[in-house]
Structure 1
Amino acid sequence: MDCIVIDWYYSGMTDAHSIPLFNLFGETTVFPDVVHCERVLDRAGLHDWVIAPHRHSQMSQVFFIEHGSAHVVLDGAEERLASGRYLYVPPQIVHGFEFTRGTEGTVLSFPSPVVSRLGPKAAALTSWLATPQRGVVTADVAQLIAALAATYTSTGTFRAQRLVALAHVLLATLAEDDLADAAFEDPQAGRQIQRLDALIAKHLTDGWAGRDYAAALHVTTGHLNRIVRMATGRSLTAHLETATMTEACRLIAFTRLPLAEVGYRLGYSDPSYFSRRFRSRMGEAPSAYRKRVVGSEL
């Protein structure tokens, strides 16, 4: 099973028009294990307790703060991660941290193929795994994190299988705690949402419309719209525009691309129309968003 780590990750990008893309922060080599576990000190201590904004294309992470705290930047928004709480970050989300010195905690990194094998599929679980989550670490979750950390440093013929199994239990437990009152969802709908979100990530800059995604999934546009609405509460059009504007926020906040170029990359040939749509969705113009999030120097 260890061989499945090969070729899961893209190399890092470092030019000013790209958001840094890492396997683990600061690393662009192949992912080192089937699951990765490290203490906050192991990584943050090497960078003066500051982890600059970056993202991962094929990896989800869980950050657990045992003692101390962290100032978190998550897709341009700021929040505080306090002691006894966790933060779950899915792929493509830009995230950065400024930890208080001496912060103790655990960082767990899960390659996307590991996360995607978590089943049986349910739309509620798929939706939960696709967006950032945060919450209180219960005693059961703390025990699971400790078991993962212990297994990570262990040896044995089936170590990789045990790591994957524990990863699945942890993620399912976090989601179940958070969605305790959620109704049962159709497993087939969950698989379709998962495939849709993968296609969106792949074709975000290709100008695909709802009908293109429906065709790729071999369903009608109306049927795909019903699946998306059931899983997210949004229409297919709103779901696609949310993904587009989320990426726009990342590019505006974390690159030096001209605003018009950001629009072009995301399929808007008319800069003024892109600006209007951004303002409509985000409540402010792209230029105002950039100034507010990163300052006037860009």
Structure 2
Amino acid sequence: MDAGGIGWYFSGMEPRPPIPVFTLFGETSVFPDVIHCERVLDRARLHDWAISPHRHRQMSQILQIETGAAKARVDGRALDLGPGDYLYIPVQAVHGFVFSQGAEGTVLSFPTPVTAGMTPEMSSWLARPQQGRLSDRAAGLIADLRQAHRTTGTFRAQRLVGLAQLLLATMAEDSLDGIAPTHGAGRQMDRLDALIAGHLGEGWTARDYAGALHVTTGHLNRIVRTARGCSLSAHLEAALMAEACRLIAFTRMPVAEVGFRLGFADPSYFSRRFRLQVGEAPAAYRRRLQDA
């Protein structure tokens, strides 16, 4: 959202995507600034205070609420936000909002090069939606970012990148509350999850993922079992069915087409796999969410 009328989540759509995928600006898919900063009020009031479910393929966001409230839904999870709260939305997460009339706050959008430049210890935090209360130092950094975004100068871009990364690191540190960052196997899990997100529906096997990470399938299986308490194949299955849940919940795509997009040629086999993982048939899952 920006006061000049450039959209928060509009445009840049591919033809008939399964879930709307948006970039920030106009009719171009290029992110024309280092980060983007806009006020909630400037955009939400133009759309009856509701932002429909969508996701961003190459961008993460922070929503800060200053006044009023918002009801958010991120990958099917309902969240309530009030003054002083924040929500971090990672790349690819499906999200939508309903704001109370007159709600105000800040939306910061970071293209992937900004977050990709952070240390591996940040990867796990950046990969998942995060919700919490802003500390005074994090709130101050958001105010600094808003100010820096309005300025010009030779080193404006570097200031914005530095402030954005400092903000993300501060929020992660505040939320971890002394939990040690991930190392070694944790970094391999982060890399694995990034590969899974990039190759869903392409039929990659455990061997393909292990090869991409330059480890044996057995070694990768041990890493996953230690980090997640399940086998590599079970972890891959859970990721695939999580995407199936998103497509079923947020689109009107026929169940058979959802399965086909995720690499299942047989609709019946897909439905059986979905029921085993989720606990109910795809059609029943869709009906339950629509009635919620």
Fold match (TM-score > 0.5): yes
Residue 156, structure 1, aligned to residue 157, structure 2: no
Question: 1:75 aligns to what?
Answer: 75
| Equivalent residue pairs, number | 282
- Counterparts of 1:271 and 1:249, CA distance in 2: 15
Question: Quick check: 1:14–1:20 contact (8 Å CA) kept in 2?
Answer: no
Distance 1:92 1:184, change over 3 A: closer
* Aligned-pair identity (%): 62
- Equivalent residues in 2 for 1:145-184 (5 A)? 145-184=142-181
Question: 2:103 aligns to what?
Answer: 103
Instruction: Determine which of 132, 135, 138 is the counterpart of 1:135.
Output: 132
Unaligned 5+ segments in structure 2 are 1-10
1:231 Cα offset (Å): 4.7
**Highest RCO, 1 vs 2 (Cα 8 Å, sep ≥ 6):** 1
Question: Quick check: 1:199–1:213 contact (8 Å CA) kept in 2?
Answer: yes
- Counterparts of 2:170 and 2:237, CA distance in 1: 30
1:178 Cα offset (Å): 1.5
Question: Quick check: 1:44–1:99 contact (8 Å CA) kept in 2?
Answer: yes
| Cα deviations by residue, 1:214-234 (Å, 9 ceiling, x for unpaired) | 112211112223334455555
- Counterparts of 1:175 and 1:234, CA distance in 2: 26
TM-score by length of 1: 0.87
1:189 Cα offset (Å): 4.1
- Counterparts of 2:279 and 2:145, CA distance in 1: 42
Question: Quick check: 1:38–1:108 contact (8 Å CA) kept in 2?
Answer: yes
- Equivalent residues in 2 for 1:111-130 (5 A)? 111-119=111-119, 121-122=120-121, 125-130=122-127
1:78 Cα offset (Å): 2.2
**Please, which moves more after superposition, 259-268 or 221-230?**
221-230
Question: 1:275 aligns to what?
Answer: 271
- Equivalent residues in 2 for 1:57-76 (5 A)? 57-76=57-76
Question: 1:13 aligns to what?
Answer: 14
Question: 2:254 aligns to what?
Answer: 258
* Amino acid in the other structure paired with 1:86: Y
- Counterparts of 2:249 and 2:181, CA distance in 1: 37
**Please, which moves more after superposition, 37-46 or 280-289?**
280-289
Three-state SS of the structure 1 residue aligned to 2:280 is: coil
Question: Quick check: 1:35–1:164 contact (8 Å CA) kept in 2?
Answer: yes
| Cα deviations by residue, 1:204-252 (Å, 9 ceiling, x for unpaired) | 1111121111112211112223334455555422332222112111111
* Amino acid in the other structure paired with 1:134: Q
TM-score by length of 2: 0.88
Unaligned 5+ segments in structure 1 are 1-9
Question: 2:35 aligns to what?
Answer: 35
**Please, which moves more after superposition, 238-247 or 60-69?**
238-247
Question: 1:248 aligns to what?
Answer: 244
Distance 1:248 1:222, change over 3 A: same
Distance 1:226 1:43, change over 3 A: farther
1:167 Cα offset (Å): 1.0
Question: 2:233 aligns to what?
Answer: 237
Question: Quick check: 2:124–2:182 contact (8 Å CA) kept in 1?
Answer: no
Question: 1:7 aligns to what?
Answer: none
Question: Quick check: 1:13–1:19 contact (8 Å CA) kept in 2?
Answer: no
Distance 1:225 1:162, change over 3 A: farther
